[in-house]
Amino acid sequence: MSSIPTSSNPRLADSFGRVVDNLRISVTDRCNFRCRYCMPEEGMVWMEKSELLAFEEIERLTHIFAGLGIRKIRLTGGEPLMRKDLYLLVEKLARISGLNDIALTTNGYFLAEQAMQLYKAGLRRINVSLDSLDPVKFNVMTRRNYYSKIWEGLDAVEALGIRPIKLNVVLIRGINDDEIGKFAYLARTKPFIIRFIEFMPIGADDGWSRDKVVTTAEIISTIEREIRKRLVPVEQRGIQPADRFVFEDGIGEIGFISSVSEPFCEHCNRVRMTSDGKLRTCLFSLVETDLKAMLREGASDEDIERAIRDAVAKKEAGHLINQPTFVRPSRTMSQIGG
């Protein structure tokens, strides 16, 4: 099957005219961290291994997605590097024609050991989640004592020359919102782009409330006050969820994912596939399409293509976090793939 969309095989679009070219693939729901906005401290129940898509199944589905115009893939989880030999999947995906971007979002714990293999397999972009620059507070956020291990991983990625290295930071008011200036300073002194992600109501037992969300507007004014430099937008909101800013002197980039205070839904170009092979057209979707069942029941590529098109056609206008009718999905962030 060709992986290039043709006139008989046009690109994926929804009923609002948004073209979908970005797929986030979760490879596991398991994780060695217990970030307080994502998972409860105890009692997580993992999927059976047989429920997870095999690498060959992910490869086949990705091939079909690429044929429909998907260009960017991000591997995520749970913690994707807990999936054994993830580099073998990266190798398979890197061979699919049409894909021009394979990225990874990780908590960084296994990077020191795996960064080289992943790079050799074709991975070129990495986001590392790091919510605190203080080891004690890092423990409070992740409930794990792994701060120095994450820095070993970041050093390994930096030494390999992988760029950009993006650091994802979720702020929770009263816990780590006093570190905004320190993160901004890091963006100016290391080859890191700092991306502040607003705290969303999607974790299990996350204690979310609107007053705990530190909004982008607040973060920008704190950075400008503490660093004493203005932040200048580098691109108007396009299809990227992150609004990008650089400091007025050109040194250091900061991104903002303002899912709560300024949702980017009207430009959303992404869909997600869970580790058990369910297609979700929004992080907050209440419906899923079971691609794994189709695969395992022997569906043809054409059948699967049709199911993907039908699902994408019904992509939600946007999430409803800010509406009184908002309903949390039954799956949490780590079960969907953040």
Alpha-carbon 112 to chain mean position: 20
Task: Rule CB under 6 A: choose which of 14, 21, 59, 79 binds ligand SF4.
Answer: 79
Query: Judged by CB under 6 A, does residue 153 bind ligand SAM?
Result: no
Span 118-157, contacts to ligand SF4 by CB under 6 A: 129
CA distances from 9 to 70, 179, 186, 243, 272 (A): 12, 49, 45, 32, 21
Alpha helices in the chain (DSSP H): 55-67, 86-94, 111-121, 135-142, 147-160, 180-189, 216-227, 291-296, 301-313, 333-336
To ligand SAM, the closest distance from the beta carbon of 306 in angstroms equals 30
Q: Select 39 or 304, whichever has its Cβ closest to ligand SF4.
A: 39
Query: Judged by CB under 6 A, does residue 28 bind ligand SAM?
Result: no
Taking residue 308's Cβ as centre, other Cβ atoms within 10 Å add up to: 26
To ligand SF4, the closest distance from the beta carbon of 152 in angstroms equals 16
Task: Rule CB under 6 A: choose which of 12, 20, 27, 35 binds ligand SF4.
Answer: 35
Q: Are 310 and 332 in contact (CB under 8 A)?
A: no
Span 43-102, contacts to ligand SAM by CB under 6 A: 76-77, 79
Alpha helices in 213-271 (DSSP H): 216-227
To ligand SAM, the closest distance from the beta carbon of 4 in angstroms equals 30
Query: Judged by CB under 6 A, does residue 257 bind ligand SF4?
Result: no
Task: Rule CB under 6 A: choose which of 12, 23, 39, 102 binds ligand SF4.
Answer: 39
To ligand SF4, the closest distance from the beta carbon of 33 in angstroms equals 4
Q: How many CA atoms lie within 13 A of 38 on its CB side?
A: 26
Alpha-carbon 187 to chain mean position: 20
Among residues 83, 103, 84, which one has the least CA distance to residue 93? 103
Residues making contact with ligand SF4 (CB under 6 A): 31, 33-35, 38-39, 77-79, 107, 129, 334
Question: Interface residues with ligand SAM (CB under 6 A)?
Answer: 31, 37-38, 76-77, 79, 105-107, 129, 168, 170, 197, 199-200, 202-203, 206, 333-334, 338
